[in-house]
Amino acid sequence: LTGVLDDCLCDIESIDDFNTFKIFPKIQKLQERDYFRYYKVNLKRPCPFWADDGHCSIKDCHVEPCPESKIPVGIKAGSSNKYSKAANNSKELEDCEQANKLGAVNSTLSNQSKEAFIDWARYDDSQDHFCELDDERSPDAQYVDLLLNPERYTGYKGPSAWRVWNSIYEENCFKPRSVYRPLNPLAPSRGGSSLLWSVCLFSWTGLCLEKRVFYKLISGLHASINLHLCANYLLEETWGKPRWGPNVKEFTRRFNPTETKGEGPRRLKNLYFLYLIELRALSKVAPYFERSVVDLYTGNGHEDAESKALLLDIFRDTKSFHMHFDEKSMFAGDKKGAKSLKEEFRLHFKNISRIMDCVGCDKCRLWGKLQTQGLGTALKILFSEKEIQSLPENSPSKGFQLTRQEIVALVNAFGRLSTSIRELQNFKVLLQQTR
């Protein structure tokens, strides 16, 4: 892979160097911090689109939830969109005041009216979101230690996995014209795979920039996930001691031009494009975290300070990159048409986030939900530039907020992309050695 990417002025070599020498080492360290390693997720939400196929019984599909005793006190006790120690300590008082206010207003309302007001509030809150968010208060929502449940090949494949990607591409993704996708999980393949692409013939004629971008984001996410599986593949399991590592044959099957009818390199270019989009979001959201009110609070003051310093250091690097994607070129037409297209864009992506509840493998579902939420958070940031620029320094903003879940997903999703590009360099070396 060489040269300039489509729809932007950035070349692949610049991204490789920037990621390898600046971003990758730092984002790896940040993901190991307590604030970012614990992610609360509901893996029991039913699939909203078709009858559940049942969960995968393969042992590597299992996710081990984290015991409550292991979760830092500041994370499990804190409000979802408050970060400082003071904010967490004042939560009881705020809850009491809020209850009194609601009581004063709602004392003459029926239960049905109260529920309607709650639904309206949730609807208003959801208008800025590009993802279907889990209810963190659900008894089925559990904390997961991401470091102990790494994303890797699990053996999950077949009709259930095929249906998920088919639904994403065929029903919820803006597609190029003349796309041919004979997605058939029963078709013979060498080794089989849960996340294979079908043959795809592209013709971008008549497809606007925004819809091309959307398609590339989904394709890039797909490419990244496949790279993780190839790089962390179960190579052998002897006497109960599995050996995980890069599988060059699997990588070739998924990305080699000959094996993919020329589509493999395009998929990898879409990975780089997705990296640029999330990199741009990180550079744009920096002012939100530079405020003193944001502490990344876990209860350990020393670690919290180090985590924030490392995060701000990464933001400085992202802002120093000289070939960012220009999101201002999107939705720049007439106001009415642009607003309609943006809403269509948001709803398509939100639907994709809901499809992640249809993934039968718990580990695949966990990382699918996290990475789609991370990308959804990046899109929310890119479309909230004015709100971010007008943030108050010493108090939370009603105009733009990120929950802890969104912050954790944003950092870890970008960390996955950074890892994918790093693993791609490793595969280049391995392929040269096998020639």
Between CA 247 and CA 15 the distance in angstroms is 24
Tell me if residue 364 is catalytic: yes
Predicted pLDDT of residue 84: 53
Query: How deeply is 401 buried, as exposed, middle or buried, from its count of CB atoms within 10 A (0-12, 13-18, 19+)?
Result: middle
- The pLDDT value recorded for residue 53 is 59
- How far is 195 from 364, CA to CA, in rounded Å? 11
Residue 177 buriedness (CB in 10 A; 0-12 / 13-18 / 19+): exposed
Determine contact, residues 199/263, Cβ cutoff 8 Å.
yes
Q: Which amino acid is residue 99, in one-letter code? A: A
Consult the annotation and say whether 219 binds a ligand: yes
361 in catalytic set: yes
324 annotated binding-site participant: no
CA distances from residue 190 to 194, 255, 430 in whole angstroms, order as listed: 12, 14, 21
Q: What is the pTM of this model?
A: 0.83
Query: Any known ligand binding at 154?
Result: yes
Q: Alpha-carbon distance 182 to 198, whole Å?
A: 6
pLDDT of residue 206: 57
254 labelled as ligand-binding? yes
Do residues 195 and 224 touch, judged by C-beta distance below 8 A?
no
Q: Choose the catalytic residue: 47, 61, 131, 361.
A: 361
Contact 385, 134 (CB under 8 A): no
Give me the DSSP letters along 318-349: HHH-S----GGGTT-S-HHHHHHHHHHHHHHH
Q: Which of 47, 131, 200, 364 is catalytic?
A: 364
DSSP state of 216: H
Query: What is the pLDDT at residue 176?
Result: 58
R_g of the chain computed on alpha carbons? 22
Can you tell me the distance from the alpha carbon of 38 to that of 75, in angstroms, rounded to the nearest whole number?
Answer: 9
Per residue of the chain (435 residues), what is the pLDDT tens digit? 888 888 788 899 999 999 999 999 999 999 999 999 999 999 998 888 887 655 666 777 889 888 888 999 889 865 554 455 555 554 443 443 443 334 333 334 445 544 544 443 443 444 567 777 777 778 888 999 999 999 988 777 777 777 888 888 877 666 655 444 434 444 444 333 334 344 343 444 556 777 888 889 999 999 999 999 999 998 887 777 788 899 999 999 999 998 888 889 999 999 999 999 999 999 999 999 999 888 899 999 999 999 999 999 999 999 999 888 877 777 666 777 777 877 888 888 888 889 999 998 899 999 999 999 999 999 999 888 888 988 888 776 677 889 899 999 999 999 999 999 999 999 999 999 887
pLDDT score for 242: 80
Q: How far apart are CA 279 and CA 324, in angstroms?
A: 8
Smallest CA-to-CA distance from 233 within 423, 29, 34 is with 423
Q: What is the DSSP letter of 434?
A: H
So what's the pLDDT on residue 399? 76
